Chain A
Amino acid sequence: MRSYTIALAGNPNTGKSTLFNALTGLRQHTGNWAGKTVTSAEGFFEYDDASFRIVDLPGTYSLYSNSTDEEAARDYIIFENPDVTIVILDATSLERNLNLALQVLEMTNRVVVCINLMDEARRLGIKIDLKKMQEKLGVPTVAISARSKKGIDELLKQVMLVASGAVVPSPISITYSEEIEKKIAAIEPQVREMFGTHLPSRWIALRLLDDDESLLTSLKKWLQRDQNAASRKEVLQYGETACH
């Protein structure tokens, strides 16, 4: 059976946990990830002959303000490389919520945007043009009401398409001022040389330009982890040849 990992990102109070519970039922437990004391719920479910592990990231407005929650969410998306990141948005407060969505879209293209609280928005007279949003964002965009479990099937369908690689989204790419773009162009090749295709080089270049020290710390940790893994591999290979 194929297995995939999904990360669930979103602002606080957007119904992340409601969606999480709707997807996993009672099969959930609390987990944490490498080097972080921030814990986050983790659960499992099956859909369309595949098993999914879903990680409920801390609810944040941003991934750049460097609170512990935000660092944990950012590091998970960048270093743990989930097969799909679902960004859940509050339909009644899209302007603020899209800030986080854009940040995630700069980090990875494997994103499904999920607009929650559609019932509530309708009640307030807010109309959302899903098709247009999907066109603009460049990733699958679905509307749900997590509480009444509406739209979950369509969400899972889109998640499956992205997880399996049947759909490869090409998200909106933000072009910065000429000055910043020039600097990105200068830094990005070196970033790519260091991290290859494992990490998003344009995004890292941008964070370096922003003097994001917290990310630097995480990058150093990741490089060490990577080197340890590489040296273990070498020892193994050496052992194999010694046996001959």
Chain B
Amino acid sequence: MASAETTLLEAGTGNQVRITRIEVQGVMRRRLLDLGFVPGNRIEVLQKSPLGDPIAFRVNNTTIALRSEESSQIWGERIGE
């Protein structure tokens, strides 16, 4: 069964997500693509900061923290469930 699409914001700590699309626009979109947030790439949700924002993600062997403004606009499918 194909898992439902989720945003990185709602993917949940400890889960892995395969990116399907990025709705962020402009220079930030370019920056995210450069950092490895590209469709098909696997992202792991590492941890939330105490107030829930930002959230740390593991992408291409590097930890990147995103604010909810960005992580709510990146979509993917949970894998390994």
Contacts and interface: CB of A to CB of B under 8 A. Distances in A.
Nearest to B28: A65
Interface residues of B, number: 9
A66 B27 contact: yes
A239 B61 CA distance: 63
Interface in B7-50: 27, 30-31, 34-36
Interface stretch (A31-39, A93-101, A141-149, A161-169): A93-101
Contacts of A93: 60-62
Interface in A76-93: 92-93
A104 to B, nearest CB: 13
Contacts of B27: 65-66
Nearest to A61: B34
B60 A65 contact: no
B62 A65 contact: no
Interface of A: 61-62, 64-66, 92-93, 95-96, 99
Given A61-B35, A64-B34, A93-B62, 18 more contacts: A62-B30, A64-B30, A65-B27, A65-B30, A65-B31, A66-B27, A66-B30, A93-B60, A93-B61, A95-B36, A95-B60, A95-B61, A96-B35, A96-B36, A96-B60, A96-B61, A96-B62, A99-B34
